[in-house]
Amino acid sequence: MRAVALVLSLAASLVACQRDADKAAGSGSGSNTAARIHVGSGSATVPAPKKIEQITPPLDLKTPPADAVKTPSGLIYRKLVVNPDGTAIGRNDSVMINSTTWKQTTGETIATNKNRGQALPFSLATAATGFAEMMQLLRKGEKAVVWVPPGVPFRAAPQPVLEEMVYMLEVVDVTPAPAIPPDLAGPPAKAPAFKSGIKYEIVRTGTGTDKARPWDTVTFNFSAWDAEGHMFDTTETRKRPATAPPYRQSVVMEEVLTSVTAGTRVRFWTDAEKMTQGGRAAAAMPKGQVCYELEVLQIAKAANDPPPAPSDVAKPPSDAQKTAKGVFYKVIKAGPGGPKPKPTEVVKLNYTGWTTDGRMFDSSLLRAQPAEFSLMGVMAGWTDAIPTMSVGDHTRFWVPAELAYKGAPNRPQGMLVFDIELLEIKAAPVQQPHVP
């Protein structure tokens, strides 16, 4: 089915190319017929692209009016509707807009949401710089025509725009982003520090009394800015708080989440690189110093506690054995013996994993539910190591980085240590015959 989908996608692209060729040959609006393409022994019909409604421009597209305003970046705009009392738009705000786009040279409408009954959402925090610049010149309720010369980054596109475009933008609504911290550049001189040395400032004191443990579940909001005040990540504008155990976050975020009580809002400063270590980081993480504001909303205590980090977590002891591929292991408690799992079989087990500094990053014991999976679908170190066990064995493994998550984003790095108890070995599921 994936192959069919790929062919259909290619066919749709060919139809679009044919429309362009028809236009170039002077066939008016181009072909509007469906294309039929053969896929193996069958065939599939690709519907013709839907025509875009042509909107009559309110102004001459080729020549901006004399009272139009030109910005330093080269944008030219003329407001059609003025609303001085409307909400102003900030660099990190989110907006709902109605938009129509024309080619300046031909007047062809190439995009519009007119008559759809629904405005388009945009976050200026992640928008192209030209678009963000323009939106900050408008207010809620205002409408403007904007001439955008080639080279000005006005919309996300795989290739730069090589011809001048004209947009009509109407601001339907504005959702303000959290205010940029006044001390964005750095912590106050007398700011306290967490144990790691990261400076922080309490913005608002909470009413809670208990602090989260790394394995509890915390619901929290946060916003983050780079050194220039660009908000690169937030849960607050999206109005969807994050919910996760602190140990699933970066090392810095774990420390903050376990250091304050519910209801507390804290501001802290750190290097962006530290926010990517040992946990999930923002997709658009910048370089250099970043500033976060985080508010703990709720703490839910875990029903079970994980085992403590082993005393030999830093490196394998001298009496550890080693597999042919390089995984060290030591039997902590031997079971009654018996067959060992094959790499093609399914195993059921409990496990806890740590980095070599003793930081837990995963545990089935916290979920109170053993893990079950095929040994063909896990990290190479497990595929190599678990076949040394029999049911009932409790073994500690030191998996070198090259057999673990080396280089994988949002995964713990370096040598990883696992305590594993093998509960059951199951035969591999029977493969159903492929039906083309």
* Tens digits of residue pLDDT in 303-333: 889 999 999 999 999 999 999 999 999 999 9
β-pairing verdict for 289-300 and 265-271: antiparallel
| Range list of β-strands (E), 108-184 | 109-112, 120-123, 143-148, 165-175
Tell me if residue 417 falls in helix, strand or coil.
strand
In CATH terms, the fold of domain 321-426 is Chitinase A; domain 3 (3.10.50)
β-bridge mates for residue 249, sequence order: 280
What's the pLDDT score for residue 10?
30
As separate numbers, helices (DSSP H) first and strands (DSSP E) second, the chain gives 5, 22
Angle, CA of 433, 435 and 436, to the nearest 5°: 140
DSSP structure string for 341-375: --TTSEEEEEEEEEETTS-EEEEHHHHTS-EEEEG
Please state which architecture CATH assigns to domain 69-175: Roll (3.10)
Own/partner pairs for 45-49, CB < 8 Å, 24+ apart? Answer: 46/8, 46/11, 46/12, 46/15, 48/15, 49/12, 49/15, 49/16, 49/19
- Residue-wise pLDDT for 11-63, tens only, equals 333 333 333 333 333 333 333 444 443 433 444 555 555 688 999 999 999 99
- Give residue 93's Cα distance to chain centre: 19
**Is the fold of 200-300 the same as that of 321-426?**
yes
Q: Which residues of 396-411 are buried (b: 16+ CB within 10 A; e: fewer)?
A: bbbbbeebbbeeeeee
If one counts every other C-beta atom within 10 angstroms of the C-beta of residue 338, the result is: 12
Spatial distance between the Cα atoms of 61 and 44, rounded to a whole number of angstroms: 41
For residue range 373-414, what is the model confidence (pLDDT) as tens digits?
A: 999 889 999 999 999 999 999 999 999 999 999 888 778 889
381, two tokens: 């170190």
What's the pLDDT score for residue 435?
Answer: 55
Q: Rounded to whole angstroms, how far apart are CA atoms 426 and 345?
A: 6
Cα of first residue to Cα of last residue in the chain, in angstroms, is 9
* Gap between the Cα atoms of 322 and 254, Å rounded: 33
pTM attached to this predicted model: 0.72
pLDDT of residue 36: 44
Q: Please list the residues that pair with 395 across neighbouring strands.
A: 331, 420
Domain boundaries along the sequence of the chain? 2-46, 69-175, 200-300, 321-426
pLDDT confidence of residue 171: 98
Strand segments, DSSP code E, in 189-286 are 200-204, 217-226, 231-234, 242-244, 265-271
Q: Are 80 and 145 in contact (CB under 8 A)?
A: yes
User: At the top level of CATH, which class does the domain 200-300 belong to?
Assistant: alpha beta
> Which of these, 125, 405, 367, 184, lies nearest to 279 by C-alpha position?
405
Those residues of the chain that have pLDDT short of 50 are: 1-43
Q: Which amino acid is at 280?
A: R
